[in-house]
Amino acid sequence: MTDPSKSLRDLIRTIPDYPKPGIMFRDITTLLGDAGGFRRAVDELVHPYAGGRADKVAGIEARGFILGGAVAHQLSAGFVPIRKKGKLPHATVRVSYLLEYGEDEIEMHADALVRGERVVLVDDLIATGGTATAAVKLLRQIGAEIVAACFVIDLPELGGAEKLRADGVEVRSLISFEGH
């Protein structure tokens, strides 16, 4: 069980120079593996949206599935997986987005949402905002109303949260780390 004096930040492992030199990888598997820390993180993500503010929670592959599923359960909302191209078996809608070196695509089932449903987007971390911005675009393409985008970690120097805010999305993160 978690030592109550430990913060969520204390439960996140930092791995220097992964996946390349100069990157400080923020590993939430240590947070997820701590029952009290995991519960605290989910509770903090859920709190502002309790009381029926969301019809669905959308989680971005892969850690967003873990967190988003737990958040959806707590909100009594449905869960929508947003996946990399080619992973979903039924009719999908897709959006492409730019990466540092190239392009990628994410998709969701075309029937995962009904136009006008209120959605909370969840992922573990917001960095440059490429994937999260693409997910917002994808959800809006189907007609979702984005209630908020929620993350455990924000890397503010990389500007992703500000990109989402500039696009009219409420952004909430539990922890900020300096650097990349």
Phi-psi category of 71—alpha, beta or left, where left has phi over 0 and alpha has psi -120 to 50? Answer: alpha
CB < 8 Å & 24+ apart, contacts of 74-78: 74/42, 74/43, 74/46, 74/50, 75/46, 75/49, 75/50, 75/120, 77/120
8 Å CB contact between 145 and 119:
yes
100 is catalytic: yes
CA distance 110 to 130: 21
Active-site annotation holder among 26, 63, 83, 172 = 63
Tokens of 99: 């990466």
178 is catalytic: no
Compute φ and ψ for 143, nearest 5 degrees.
Answer: 105, 15
Active-site annotation holder among 26, 61, 83, 100 = 100
Active site residues: 63, 100
